[in-house]
Structures are given as structure tokens and as C-alpha cells.
């Protein structure tokens, strides 16, 4: 055996031994649809977890997820299946839980999970209203739980490089404007008839605290984002990613004020009630971050249909999920493409419905989550960051709804001198569910 082969074999052996000695964490998943499975299977790839239980209100979706997980996890055991997350959490046999329900279910499931002593990976945006998010942050801190939000732009390898090698060292100079955008034709345009829910779906439980709408095929599965009852439209879905990435890259906190215009300007025939066109401006000192989405027409830059453009006095950075381009005022331009990891994780090539360009970011995000569980630190997308980014986007929708700019007081977490706007910080819950919002001082 030559020396190189000996060293390679020894290193591989040590790595395998370390992997075997790593603690096997017991995992549960609440919400077994599209991204729930994507997140869970990435976790299985990078850590010797045991998926103990799965929960979903769709029996078919639940059974499908259990079969996939049994085929992918090391033990090949089929997880236990639950229709009610409360029953799953009562078993007290988990170390951490992933939450990938529709947005209107994030708050109640996450708060119950941290009360049960679990660390949590919750999908973005964390909440459908601001008071939910405030209660989620308070619960995470009260019960001393690690909560990672699925805003994985913060863990995307090429975007982390752009931040660390271009933005932080000041190669952009002073940034005076960031344009963030999404021009995907992603808004539902169908107008299906209302029908009885399918037998495999507990529609009452699926609706939970949200207003009860007639069931139709847009509601479930996956296209529920067509309705504001369950989320916050394209702003809540896509803007939150790019706005959060911008805050991370530039080390920004709460905006001072938020203004928004738009609505359903083109597609008035669909049952979808989310905007098809919207601009939101997040105002900071000496900086505006301006979001625009159109679910129709062409993107101004076809290479960057969902992206952030940072304009500085020394250069421009265009950053998206498939790569980035940096053009300095002086010197050579830099281009990077998204990183794929097919050699290490060949199953990425064939996994159904996987966003392959996002898989490395999710794995990195999961590794950060696990490392902070061990250290009891704050992960890169800590619940507080999720709260700020989601709430700022919600304020954008409220600004459009009310037709005025909203000034935000980050200390009191209230809209300044606007009682009507503050009444909209919490949505009413449908009985028997109770909103988790915290008491506020009356004075």
C-alpha cells in the first residue's frame, strides 16, 4: 500500500468512525408535503438521525413520506404516523422537529414544539401575522430552544462567498440602493370549481386557525399560496428570502418605514386573491431596499429573475440562487455559478421534485442548525432574524392594504401613530384555536 492510499484510507476510516460515534438524534416532521420532504431528506444525508415520527392531515401524503423515509434512513424503519401534531409531541420521544406546514400553521406548531423541549427547524416565513412571530420568538427564548428558520440563502455557498469576499470587505463601496425582485410566473391562474375535500384530507384540521374557505384544487396541495388566508402572497413567499439575504449581507435590522403599492392589476379572472404586481420599499437611513414582483411579463434581466442587485459607488453585485456577478468600477468582473454536490450526494440527481440547485444550501443550513444545537448558540437564521424579515414583509402588505407608508418603532414593535395598522398586527383566529399573541402594555 503506497503512502497516499494509506493516508486516504486512514482518513476515510476516521471519518466513518466519527460518523458512527455522532449522536443519533431523534427527529419528527410536521407537514409532509413538498418542502417538508426536501428538508428532511437533506438532514438524513448529513447526519445519522432516526426519523421517529411524521405528521400530516393528508393520509396519502403521510403514507408516501413514510415510505420514502424508510427507504432513505439508515435504520430503514418506517416512522410512526400521526394526524395531529399535539399527539405526536405528547410522546416525548424526539430531540428535534422540522415544521413545513402551510404558513398559517407555523406559529402554533412551533410554539408547542419548543414547549415540549424540542429544538426546531421551521420553514419561512415564520408567521402569517406579526403578533404570531413575536410570540414565537418569545417562546423560543423562554424555553431556551434553538430555532433555525428555513431562509437558506444565508447558507448558500456562492452567496456566502459574495458576502464574505465582496460585500463585507467593502468592495461595493457605499451601497445606496438594493433592488430585490421576483418575476416568476408563479401566481395560480386557474379557476377550478369548489368541491368536497378528498377523503384522504382532514380539511377541518388543515384549515385550523385560518378562515374556512370552500375547498378547491388550488387549496391543497402546494398551491395554497394563491390565497392570503394561508400566507402573505408572493411578498411573504419570495420577497422574504431576498430581503432577508440583503439584511444578512449588509447587517441590517428593522427598516424605519415601509411603503407599498400594487394589487391584482392583470389577472382578474383567477380565484387567487394575492397580488400579481407589487412594489415594496423598505426604508433605512441612507438606503432603500426596493422589492418588485410581477407574475406576468418579462424579467428586466433574464439571468436574474429572482435576485438582489446591490448598487454601490465602487461596484454592482447581482446575486441570485443560480449564481452571482460582481462588476467593480475598476478591475476585473467576477462570476460564480451555483454549487452542486452530485458526487457526494448522487441521490440529488433523481429525487422527485427536488430543487437541485438549493440542496447544498439546505444541507449547509442543517449543519449549522445541528452545530448550534450542540453549542446552544444562535444559528445563522435564528428565529429573531426570521421574525424581523417576515414581519417587515407583512408590513409591506399592510401598507398596500391601507394605502399609506407605515413608520415602524423597533423598540415597541408597533406602527407609529397608527391605531388602525396596529389592530392588523394580529389576524383573528377561527374557533376553537386561540391566537398565541402576547399581552401588550395598555399605556
Mark whether 171 and 284 lie in a shared domain. Answer: yes
In a domain, 203, yes or no: yes
Q: What is the pLDDT along the chain (443 residues), one digit of tens a residue?
A: 454 444 444 444 444 444 445 789 999 999 999 999 999 999 999 999 999 999 999 999 999 999 999 999 999 999 999 999 999 999 999 999 999 999 999 999 999 999 999 999 999 999 999 999 999 999 999 999 999 999 999 999 999 999 999 999 999 999 999 999 999 999 999 999 999 999 999 999 999 999 999 999 999 999 999 999 999 999 999 999 999 999 999 999 999 999 999 999 999 999 999 999 999 999 999 999 999 999 999 999 999 999 999 999 999 999 999 999 999 999 999 999 999 999 999 999 999 999 999 999 999 999 999 999 999 999 999 999 999 999 999 999 999 999 999 999 999 999 999 999 999 999 999 999 999 999 887 64
Last residue of a domain, one of 119, 152, 185: 152
Mark whether 286 and 250 lie in a shared domain. Answer: yes
Mark whether 324 and 226 lie in a shared domain. Answer: yes
Distance of CA 219 to the CA centre of its chain: 20
Q: How many domains does the chain have?
A: 2
Distances (CA, A) of 356 to 70, 154, 321, 345, 350: 22, 17, 11, 11, 10
Q: If you search the block for the grid coordinates 385550523, which residue do you land on? A: 208
pLDDT at 440 (0 to 100): 82
Mark whether 148 and 158 lie in a shared domain. Answer: no
Distance of CA 349 to the CA centre of its chain: 23
Last residue of a domain, one of 152, 177, 194: 152
Mark whether 296 and 317 lie in a shared domain. Answer: yes
DSSP-assigned letters across all residues of 67-94? HHHHHHSTT-PPPEEES-HHHHHHT---
Mark whether 30 and 97 lie in a shared domain. Answer: yes
pTM of the model: 0.94
In a domain, 306, yes or no: yes
In a domain, 349, yes or no: yes
Mark whether 146 and 226 lie in a shared domain. Answer: no
In a domain, 362, yes or no: no
Give the helix, strand, coil percentages of the chain, each rounded to 5.
35, 20, 45
Q: Are strands 323-328 and 414-415 parallel, antiparallel or unpaired?
A: unpaired
Residues 6+ apart with CB under 8 A from 352: none
Mark whether 221 and 130 lie in a shared domain. Answer: no
Mark whether 324 and 179 lie in a shared domain. Answer: yes
pLDDT at 16 (0 to 100): 40
115 within 8 A of 139, measured Cβ to Cβ: yes
CATH number (domain holding residue 329): 3.30.360.10
Domain of 86 in residue numbering reads as 19-152
Mark whether 128 and 183 lie in a shared domain. Answer: no
In a domain, 437, yes or no: no
Q: Which run of H or of E encompasses 142?
A: helix 130-142
Distances (CA, A) of 346 to 9, 64, 98, 338: 21, 21, 24, 17
Mark whether 212 and 134 lie in a shared domain. Answer: no
In a domain, 367, yes or no: no
Amino acid at each position: 500500500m503506497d503512502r497516499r492510499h494509506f493516508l486516504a484510507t486512514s482518513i476515510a476510516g476516521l471519518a466513518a468512525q466519527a460518523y458512527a460515534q455522532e449522536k443519533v438524534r431523534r427527529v419528527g416532521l410536521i407537514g409532509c408535503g413538498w418542502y417538508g420532504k426536501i428538508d428532511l431528506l437533506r438532514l438524513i444525508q448529513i447526519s445519522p438521525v432516526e426519523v421517529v415520527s411524521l405528521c400530516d392531515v393528508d393520509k396519502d401524503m403521510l403514507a408516501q413520506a413514510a415510505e420514502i423515509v424508510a427507504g432513505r434512513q439508515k435504520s430503514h424503519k418506517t416512522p410512526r404516523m400521526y394526524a395531529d401534531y399535539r399527539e405526536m409531541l405528547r410522546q416525548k420521544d424526539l430531540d428535534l422537529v422540522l415544521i413545513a406546514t402551510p404558513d398559517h400553521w407555523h406559529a402554533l406548531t412551533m410554539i408547542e414544539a419548543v414547549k415540549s423541549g424540542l429544538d426546531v427547524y421551521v420553514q419561512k416565513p415564520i408567521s402569517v401575522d406579526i403578533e404570531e412571530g413575536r410570540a414565537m420568538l418569545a417562546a423560543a427564548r423562554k424555553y431556551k430552544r434553538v430555532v433555525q428558520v428555513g431562509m437558506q440563502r444565508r447558507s448558500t455557498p456562492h452567496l456566502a462567498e459574495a458576502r464574505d469576499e465582496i460585500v463585507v470587505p467593502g468592495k461595493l463601496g457605499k451601497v445606496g440602493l438594493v433592488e430585490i425582485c421576483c418575476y416568476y410566473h408563479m401566481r395560480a391562474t386557474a379557476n377550478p370549481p369548489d368541491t368536497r375535500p378528498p377523503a384522504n384530507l382532514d380539511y377541518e384540521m388543515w384549515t385550523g386557525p385560518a378562515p374556512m374557505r370552500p375547498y378547491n384544487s388550488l387549496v391543497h396541495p402546494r398551491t395554497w399560496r394563491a390565497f392570503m388566508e394561508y400566507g402573505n402572497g408572493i411578498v411573504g413567499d419570495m420577497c422574504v428570502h431576498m430581503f432577508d439575504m440583503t439584511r444578512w449581507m449588509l447587517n441590517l435590522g428593522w427598516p424605519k418605514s415601509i411603503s407599498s403599492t400594487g394589487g391584482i392589476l392583470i389577472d382578474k379572472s383567477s380565484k387567487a386573491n394575492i397580488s400579481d404586481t407589487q412594489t415594496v420599499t423598505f426604508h433605512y437611513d441612507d438606503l432603500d431596499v426596493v422589492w418588485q414582483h410581477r407574475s406576468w411579463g418579462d424579467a428586466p434581466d433574464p439571468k436574474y429573475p429572482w435576485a438582489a442587485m446591490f448598487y454601490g459607488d465602487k461596484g454592482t453585485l447581482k446575486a441570485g440562487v443560480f449564481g452571482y456577478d460582481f462588476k467593480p468600477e475598476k478591475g476585473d468582473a467576477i462570476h460564480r455559478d451555483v454549487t452542486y454536490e452530485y458526487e457526494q450526494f448522487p441521490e440529488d440527481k433523481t429525487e422527485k421534485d427536488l430543487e437541485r440547485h438549493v440542496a447544498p444550501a439546505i444541507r449547509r443550513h442543517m449543519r449549522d442548525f445541528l452545530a448550534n444545537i450542540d453549542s446552544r448558540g444562535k444559528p445563522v437564521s435564528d428565529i429573531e432574524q426570521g421574525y424581523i424579515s417576515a414581519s417587515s414583509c407583512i408590513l409591506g402588505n399592510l401598507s398596500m392594504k391601507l394605502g399609506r407608508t407605515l413608520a415602524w418603532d423597533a423598540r415597541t414593535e408597533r406602527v407609529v401613530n397608527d391605531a388602525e395598522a396596529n389592530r392588523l398586527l394580529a389576524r383573528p383566529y377561527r374557533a376553537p384555536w386561540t391566537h398565541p399573541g402576547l399581552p401588550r402594555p395598555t399605556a
